[in-house]
């Protein structure tokens, strides 16, 4: 038997070299298969994918577009099967419709796009001998949720005047979810989904609150406002207040109405990840992915109950309705504030500090209380960014995924990049965001005080400063840099069964394609970062799930290159020349049937 490549347990694979191939490239000895693609029928009665004659009704029974977050959940009683939940973040019409006229989309195209957004639940089945994973169409748990499905607003701001519309005078019932980026899996068996760049769907606003969220004064690129007035802020001012939440979905109950949790605040939620306090209360971390925006934590006040009965489930689905929402403020405590390539690095004992969680509002059965001067509790939950502004939260370099380690409790905060840092009058580098014009991003490691999830203060340090390891302004938790893979623009993260952090990237600025990397977080190989795969032209790597025998990634927006279209594709993945490019979920496995990275 050949000796496996060196690395921490779980990371013993030969690193994939940076490349620009229009392919999924995996380490030697590994293979992959496409689990499911955009347009594959998953519901009973859904037709086969026919991109030249796509309809909204067909799309509503098929896997959606631009898969992002993935959860792979147990399916007790069905041997070899698991339940896959996927986000469909957004649509890219120019890559979906032949002859798409961006100035004049048709109603048919717009309705297909609505049906291609949202979530999918689909049962998947593993092959006995390999890690190959295939979808099980027409399974009774398979489900689509789209931009027109019914949702319930819950928590403190539900029913408030800010959330009432002409179609919904109760302020509690919303149609659809938009721009679900990353997410999380709860210990009580549901999934969380962050509504991220919801601003891009709403037209014609001149309000300052909307401006803070990036909602434009004119028409939108997709022009949905021509087909449903709720996307026109001038006509339906409060509809936009009903997007930008954390969605909770119960994939085990096909009749459940998914919820939007106002207690977790409204911003561009990249994701939402859960850790429990010692006494069983949920703590949810969530980043607001915008240059110079903040990251947040919600500490619930109700304890999770164990079991699967209906009453237990209903109780657990209310856990995120009561608790306190906090925003992070970070303070450095050493003299250096900028990594400038001079060789001064976090390993010198600098670039670390302390932080506090500043309370914004508390929701309880008795009502909600604001902790922000000049804002009501409803305003804090609906205009959360403005609350963060008022309390002086720390402006970060685009907070993406945040993941607490199930092994150590340490929390990893991914900052993807911020090329505007230090430019003009913008905030300059600080210890927690230590590079001006930050092209490649970095990852912070937070330790909650006494390692308690509910603590209101923490310590932090830099874990990873991304880029070409040859550049002196990079850092890999102190690991020797001649032995690590180059990485740029970290985005989503997940832990493997051994406590290694896996990082997927979006927007590689080093001239090669995006990919997936594993890095040890503890032990003597801490900081050893190794590339595990690369994705095709134009694609971003999303939603990693790392199991013992299998790695799952969402290949999002393959072929999304300026000037590309159905007629002029930049990628022919996954089906080859002459076929439309399709976002898809991929399973990677070791060809000899062994465990990943062992």
Q: Which residues bind ligand FEO (CB under 6 A)?
A: 89, 181, 196, 270, 289, 400, 491
Residue 326 CB, shortest distance to Ca ion, in Å, is 22
- 439's CB contacts (< 8 A; 6+ apart) are 417, 419, 467, 488, 509
Q: Which residues ranging from 158 to 217 are in contact with Ca ion (CB under 5 A)?
A: 181
The answer to whether residues 541 and 553 touch, using CB atoms and an 8 Å cutoff, is: yes
Count other Cβ atoms within 10 Å, centred on residue 39: 24
Residue 350: which of ligand FEO, Ca ion, none does it interact with, CB under 5 to 8 A by kind? none
- Provide, for the chain, the percentages of residues in helix, strand and coil under a 3-state DSSP scheme, each rounded to the nearest 5: 15, 35, 55
Residue among 376, 311, 380, 318 at smallest CA distance from 152? 318
- In the complex, the smallest distance separating the C-beta of residue 505 from Ca ion, rounded to whole angstroms, is 9
378 binds, among ligand FEO, Ca ion, none (CB under 5 to 8 A by kind): none
Q: Taking the complex as a whole, how short is the minimal distance between the CB of residue 205 and ligand FEO, in angstroms?
A: 22
Q: How far is CA 317 from CA 154, 280, 297, 313, 364, in A?
A: 10, 14, 18, 6, 15
| Nearest CB to ligand FEO, comparing residues 332 and 388 | 388
| Tally of CB atoms within 10 A around 187 | 14
Q: Which of 317, 487 has the CB closer to ligand FEO? A: 487
Cis peptide before 91 (omega within 30 of 0): no
- Of residues 374 through 403, those in contact with Ca ion by CB under 5 A are none
Between residues 124 and 192, which has the closer beta carbon with respect to ligand FEO?
A: 192
Residues of this chain, 460-499, that bind Ca ion according to CB under 5 A: 491
Q: Which is nearer to Ca ion, 93 or 506 (CB)?
A: 506
* Beta carbons of 413 and 428 less than 8 angstroms apart: no
Q: Considering the complex, state which of residue 375 and residue 501 has its C-beta at the smaller distance from Ca ion.
A: 501
| 386 touches, from ligand FEO, Ca ion, none (C-beta below 5 to 8 Å by class) | none
Cα 484 to Cα 470: distance, rounded to the nearest angstrom: 10
Q: How far is the CB of 219 from Ca ion (least distance, A)?
A: 23
Pick the closer one to Ca ion by CB: 66 or 521: 66
Residue 293's binding partner among ligand FEO, Ca ion, none (Cβ under 5 to 8 angstroms by kind) is none
d(CA 505, CA 513): 9
Q: Which residue has the tokens 């019914």?
A: 150
Structure tokens at 40: 């594959």
Q: Which does 454 bind (CB under 5 to 8 A by kind): ligand FEO, Ca ion, none?
A: none
Residues in binding contact with Ca ion, number by CB under 5 A: 3
Minimum gap (Å) between residue 185 Cβ and ligand FEO? 18
Nearer to ligand FEO, 8 or 493 (CB): 493
40 binds, among Ca ion, ligand FEO, none (CB under 5 to 8 A by kind): none
Using a 10 angstrom Cβ sphere, with 0-12 exposed, 13-18 middle and 19 or more buried, the burial of residue 219 is middle
Q: Considering the complex, what minimum distance in angstroms separates the CB of residue 416 from ligand FEO?
A: 7
How far apart (Å, rounded) are the C-alpha atoms in residues 60 and 135? 17
**Which option in ligand FEO, Ca ion, none does residue 225 bind, with CB closer than 5 to 8 A by kind?**
none
What CA–CA distances, in Å, run from 23 to 141, 273, 538, 590?
Answer: 32, 30, 11, 18
Which of 195/506 has CB closer to Ca ion? 506
- E strand map for 288-398: 291-293, 295-300, 323-332, 352-364, 367-370, 396-397
Least separation in angstroms between CB 173 and Ca ion: 28
Q: Are strands 191-195 and 81-88 parallel, antiparallel or unpaired?
A: unpaired
Instruction: Using DSSP, state whether 529 is helix, strand or coil.
Output: strand
* Residue 445: contacted member of ligand FEO, Ca ion, none (CB under 5 to 8 Å, by partner type): none
User: Nearest CA to 131 among 591, 530, 509, 566?
Assistant: 591
- Kindly state whether residue 506 participates in binding Ca ion, applying the rule CB under 5 A: yes
- Alpha helices by DSSP H, listed for 336-399, are 377-382, 384-391
Q: How far is the CB of 426 from ligand FEO (least distance, A)?
A: 19
Q: Which residue is nearest to Ca ion (CB)?
A: 506
Task: Output the smallest distance, CB 369 to Ca ion, in A.
Answer: 33
Q: Which does 239 bind (CB under 5 to 8 A by kind): ligand FEO, Ca ion, none?
A: none
Which CB sits closer to ligand FEO, 196 or 431? Answer: 196
Q: What's the min distance (Å) between Cβ of 410 and ligand FEO?
A: 22
The residues with which 533 forms a beta bridge, in sequence order, are 516
> Is residue 411 within a helix (H) or strand (E), and if so which, with residue range?
strand 411-415
Give 317 or 493: the residue with its C-beta nearer to ligand FEO: 493
Give residues in contact with Ca ion (CB under 5 A): 181, 491, 506
């Amino acid at each position: 038997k050949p000796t496996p490549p060196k690395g921490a347990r779980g990371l013993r694979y030969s690193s994939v070299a940076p490349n620009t191939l229009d392919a999924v490239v995996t380490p030697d000895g590994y293979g992959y298969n496409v689990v499911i693609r955009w347009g594959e029928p998953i519901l009973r009665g859904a037709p086969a994918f026919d991109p030249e004659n796509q309809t909204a009704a067909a799309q509503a029974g098929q896997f959606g577009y631009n898969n992002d977050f993935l959860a792979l959940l147990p399916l007790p009683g069905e041997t070899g099967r698991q339940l896959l939940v996927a986000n469909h973040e957004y649509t890219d019409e120019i890559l979906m419709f032949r002859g798409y006229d961006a100035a004049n989309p048709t109603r048919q195209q717009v309705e297909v796009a609505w049906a291609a957004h949202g979530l999918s639940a689909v049962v998947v089945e593993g092959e006995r001998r390999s890690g190959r994973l295939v979808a099980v169409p027409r399974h009774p748990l398979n489900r689509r949720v789209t931009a027109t499905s019914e949702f319930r607003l819950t928590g403190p701001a539900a029913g408030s005047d800010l959330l009432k519309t002409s179609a919904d005078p109760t302020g509690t019932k919303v149609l659809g979810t938009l721009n679900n980026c990353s997410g999380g899996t709860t210990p009580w068996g549901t999934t969380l989904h962050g509504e991220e760049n919801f601003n891009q769907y709403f037209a014609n606003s001149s309000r300052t609150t909307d401006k803070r969220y990036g909602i434009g004064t004119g028409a939108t690129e997709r022009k949905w406002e021509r087909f449903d007035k709720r996307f026109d802020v001038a006509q339906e001012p409060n509809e936009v207040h009903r997007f930008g939440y954390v969605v909770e979905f119960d994939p085990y109950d096909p009749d459940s109405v998914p919820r939007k949790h106002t207690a977790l605040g409204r911003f561009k939620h990249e994701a939402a990840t859960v850790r429990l306090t010692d006494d069983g209360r949920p703590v949810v971390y969530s980043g607001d992915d915008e240059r110079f925006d903040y990251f947040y934590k919600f500490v619930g006040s109700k304890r999770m109950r164990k079991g699967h009965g209906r009453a237990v489930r209903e109780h657990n689905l209310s856990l995120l309705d009561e608790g306190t929402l906090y925003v992070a403020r970070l303070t450095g405590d050493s003299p250096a504030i900028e990594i400038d390539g001079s060789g001064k690095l976090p390993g010198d004992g600098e670039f670390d500090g302390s932080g506090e969680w500043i309370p914004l509002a508390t929701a309880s059965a008795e009502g909600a209380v604001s902790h922000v001067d000049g804002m009501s509790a409803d305003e804090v939950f609906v205009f959360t960014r403005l609350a963060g502004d008022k309390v002086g939260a720390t402006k970060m370099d685009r907070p993406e995924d945040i993941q607490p380690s199930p092994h150590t409790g340490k929390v990893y905060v991914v900052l993807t990049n911020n090329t505007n840092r230090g430019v003009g009058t913008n905030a300059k580098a600080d210890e927690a965001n230590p590079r001006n014009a930050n092209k490649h991003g970095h990852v912070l490691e937070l330790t909650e005080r006494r390692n308690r999830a509910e603590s209101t203060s923490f310590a932090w340090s830099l874990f990873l400063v991304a880029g070409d390891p040859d550049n002196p302004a990079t850092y890999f938790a102190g690991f020797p840099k001649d032995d690590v893979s180059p990485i740029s623009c970290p985005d989503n993260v997940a832990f493997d069964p051994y406590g290694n952090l896996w990082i997927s990237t979006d927007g590689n600025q080093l001239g090669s394609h995006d990919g997936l990397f594993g890095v040890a977080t503890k032990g003597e190989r801490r900081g050893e970062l190794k590339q595990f795969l690369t994705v095709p032209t134009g694609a971003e790597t999303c939603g990693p799930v790392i199991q013992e025998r299998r790695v799952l990634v969402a290949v999002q927006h393959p072929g999304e290159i300026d000037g590309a279209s159905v007629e002029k594709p930049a990628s022919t993945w996954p089906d080859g020349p002459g076929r439309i490019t399709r976002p898809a979920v991929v399973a990677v496995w070791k060809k000899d049937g062994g465990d990943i990275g062992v």
